[in-house]
Amino acid sequence: MEKKPLILVTNDDGIRAPGIRALIEVMRSLGKVIVVAPDRPQSGASHSITINVPLRLEKVVQLEDYEEYSCNGTPTDCVKLGIKAVMHCHPDLIVSGINHGSNASVNIIYSGTMAAVIEGCMAEIPSIGFSLLDYSMHADFKPSLPCIRKITEQVLKNGLPFGVCLNVNIPNVSSKEIRGIRVCQQAGGTWQEDFDERTDPHGRDYYWLKGIFVKIGDGHHTDEYLLENNYVSVVPVHTDMTAYEAIPQLKYMDTDA
Amino acid sequence: MEKKPLILVTNDDGIRAPGIRALIEVMRSLGKVIVVAPDRPQSGASHSITINVPLRLEKVVQLEDYEEYSCNGTPTDCVKLGIKAVMHCHPDLIVSGINHGSNASVNIIYSGTMAAVIEGCMAEIPSIGFSLLDYSMHADFKPSLPCIRKITEQVLKNGLPFGVCLNVNIPNVSSKEIRGIRVCQQAGGTWQEDFDERTDPHGRDYYWLKGIFVKIGDGHHTDEYLLENNYVSVVPVHTDMTAYEAIPQLKYMDTDA
């Protein structure tokens, strides 16, 4: 009998979020699963790590092919602890999500879901992040599941190119409306933000961030375009943030002391 | 008389760190300066944003060409608040640092200093992060200052290419030993990490992260190589994390429903 793949599951919406529950069900049908996830929502955690507070792990479930741990840290902490303190070995796959809300375009920069995936990638483990374009805690994850299973099976079979992980986003439509899967590039975009300025009952001012995402450019090969057209987008992601095309433009800065 | 440029200064080591004090001095000689920085160290904050807690700003200093605000949020929050709640306009420049420790190679992924810079870049403001390769709070920032001034003056004069910001790292050597400035690419690298597992006085286990950075590859055009050879490295950075070279390799995943 073939050995079951070992899969580490995490997220940034916290261990009780419906999104990770849906992802766990798919993964348990594909391998031995260990969940290490934050004990509370960590949206917007990005790639933050816990340096000043001791990290805690609590075992929540232990079955033969399934274990679950709750952690007081960030998604990145969960991946590091999952590998080094729980598994003591590299899993065959890391999956993160299903995020409640989009991680397409520049949302990847703020995303705790994708930070966990990038962390796995830096540890040279095939890693995939899944996000559904619905921020609601009552989101319907069912239409996502066949695509998630398909992409996961492909990665378990073929692996991923060295230094590359996947950012998968799923349109918030019915199963019938999903038109397929497309490998593509990250769209340009930005957040147009503002602050809600309020005064607390003690007379002190405070601020809440609010904003809307604005796409930049209208390329047909971007995640934003494909999602708008009801495709599942798959962006291969790496950790090299160099803007190579700008190097020649900036070479005038080179100087010798 | 020419109008003084408006400069927003932030960091991730907190408003009282020696690194930001050194940076403020250089910037005050170049323009009107507004500091909005975290009220405590935020190392490892990456691009995290504060969603669940109200943000607070405290005015600490008000002079004619100089203001200072302390904020309970992350470096990214500081940039957003600085632009939207303090300045109510776009500054001519955002600078972040001087970080106590390297942000070269993949350290950019974890860096709060560089997150602030990337946030400025997404708002289409010329933005530069400065880091000295010395983690100590007693680091000597003097040898860094001429390079920081030079790079800042160049960016104030010429701007930066669209969608590009700068990650500047400075070797921890004497002024005489700094050999010059080089525009270059981000080196490959990873952190080899482990956890120190301990038991608290109440019998509960906890973990501290510890690790060492390991460079991958030995290219002569990377920040790590140039820093080892006593050059100041300047990496142009963008927010597109797409691994373009992997798209053709993964096209087999494209499917129609």
Q: What is the pLDDT of residue A35?
A: 98
pLDDT tens-digit map of A207-232: 888 888 888 887 889 999 999 999 99
What average pLDDT does range A112-118 have in this prediction? 96
Contact B113, B96 (CB under 8 A): yes
Tell me which chain A residues have a C-beta less than 8 angstroms from the C-beta of B89.
none
Cβ <8 Å between A242 and B110 = no
The closest CB to that of B195, out of A81, A154, A239, belongs to A81
User: Domains, chain B, ranges and CATH?
Assistant: 6-187+219-253 (3.40.1210.10)
| Residue A1's pLDDT band (cuts 50, 70, 90) | low
**CB-count burial class (<10 Å; 0-12, 13-18, 19+) for A54:** middle
pLDDT for residue B43 is more than 80: no
Q: Are A127 and A94 in contact (CB under 8 A)?
A: yes
* Closest-CA distance of chain A to residue B167, Å: 9
Chain A residues touching B46 at Cβ < 8 A? 45-49, 76, 115
Residues 6+ apart with CB under 8 A from A47: A76, A115, A118, A119, B46, B47, B109, B110
Q: What is the DSSP letter of A158?
A: H
Whether residues B206 and A81 touch (CB distance < 8 A) is answered with no
Give the three-state DSSP class for B236: strand
Of A180, A193, A252, the CB nearest to B80: A193
| Rounded to 5°, angle at Cα A93 from A89 and A98 | 130
CA of A135 vs chain B CAs: smallest distance (Å): 14
Q: Compute φ and ψ for B11, nearest 5 degrees.
A: -165, -175
**Cβ separation B110–A47 shorter than 8 A:** yes
pLDDT bin (cut points 50, 70, 90) of residue B3 is confident
What is the interface size between A and B, counted as CB pairs within 8 Å?
Answer: 245
Cα–Cα distance measured from residue B132 to residue B143, given in angstroms and rounded to the nearest whole number? 10
Min Cα separation A154/chain B (Å):
8
Determine whether the interchain pair A236/B243 forms a contact, defined as Cβ–Cβ distance below 8 Å: yes
Mean per-residue pLDDT of chain A: 94
pLDDT tens-digit profile of B78-136? 999 999 999 999 999 999 999 999 999 999 999 999 999 999 999 999 999 999 999 89
Q: How far apart are CA B230 and CA A153, in angstroms?
A: 47
ipTM here = 0.90
